[in-house]
Amino acid sequence: MKKKIILILTVVIVAPIAFYIYLGLREQEKKDEKFICDCQKNGTVTEVELSSKYFTPQKTEIFFNKKKINYKQSLYDKYFLFSFDLIVKKSSKDTLFVKCEKKTVKIYNFDVDTLIINKKQGLACDLKEVTVDGEKQYARSGIVLD
């Protein structure tokens, strides 16, 4: 008799708890799916880092959507690094132009990806890859112009 009462009480207590845990996980899954869709559809603001041996900061201009972009410059080994923030979208028809006296580089097809950073931060949008003058390039560690 005691075993039946304990079993019934366990089922009565555990079943609702399990059900609410299941509902919570489903709700979080829906939120994650919405975030991923928004990330891919609306894009994200990301810091873009371009590196080059030949583009010099004094003579280089960067344009996006026909607007000039201000950038931070630094020197790393023999490479110049150009850093700036940019709003990128997955299927963007926008093109980023990097112009110097002798050469113009076109960067387009910004592919935005959704990453799981860690359990505390959750999902995050990031720039995955771009097309630089017709060649796909992985963009997470920076974009090489040369």
- Could you report the per-residue pLDDT of 31-44, keeping only the tens digit for each? 988 988 888 788 88
Higher pLDDT pick, 105 / 56: 105
Higher pLDDT pick, 60 / 114: 60
Please indicate, yes or no, whether residues 19 and 63 belong to a single structural domain of this protein: no
Predicted model pTM: 0.73
Binned at pLDDT 50, 70 and 90, residue 57 comes out as confident
Please indicate, yes or no, whether residues 84 and 26 belong to a single structural domain of this protein: no
Binned at pLDDT 50, 70 and 90, residue 91 comes out as low
How far apart, in whole angstroms, are the C-alpha atoms of residue 95 and residue 109? 8
Percent of the chain exceeding pLDDT 90 equals: 24
Please indicate, yes or no, whether residues 37 and 52 belong to a single structural domain of this protein: no
How confident is the model at residue 94, as a pLDDT? 79
Please indicate, yes or no, whether residues 122 and 82 belong to a single structural domain of this protein: yes
How confident is the model at residue 36, as a pLDDT? 85
Q: Output the domain CATH number for residue 124.
A: 2.60.40
Please indicate, yes or no, whether residues 32 and 49 belong to a single structural domain of this protein: no
Please indicate, yes or no, whether residues 57 and 9 belong to a single structural domain of this protein: no
Please indicate, yes or no, whether residues 31 and 74 belong to a single structural domain of this protein: no
Please indicate, yes or no, whether residues 47 and 108 belong to a single structural domain of this protein: yes
How confident is the model at residue 7, as a pLDDT? 84
How far apart, in whole angstroms, are the C-alpha atoms of residue 51 and residue 92? 22
Long-range contacts from 58-67, C-beta under 8 angstroms, 24+ separation: 59/100, 59/101, 60/98, 60/99, 60/100, 61/98, 61/99, 61/100, 62/96, 62/97, 62/98, 62/99, 63/96, 63/97, 63/99, 64/94, 64/95, 64/96, 64/97, 65/94
Please indicate, yes or no, whether residues 18 and 48 belong to a single structural domain of this protein: no
* Mean pLDDT (whole number) for 77-83: 87
**Domain limits for position 135:** 43-144
Higher pLDDT pick, 72 / 40: 72
Higher pLDDT pick, 90 / 5: 5
Q: Are 100 and 55 in contact, with CB atoms under 8 Å apart?
A: yes
Please indicate, yes or no, whether residues 57 and 116 belong to a single structural domain of this protein: yes
Please indicate, yes or no, whether residues 35 and 47 belong to a single structural domain of this protein: no
How confident is the model at residue 90, as a pLDDT? 62
- How many domains does the structure of the chain reveal? 2
Q: What is the pLDDT of residues 110-123, one digit of tens each?
A: 888 888 777 677 88
Kindly state the DSSP code that residue 137 receives in the 8-state scheme: E
Please indicate, yes or no, whether residues 29 and 92 belong to a single structural domain of this protein: no
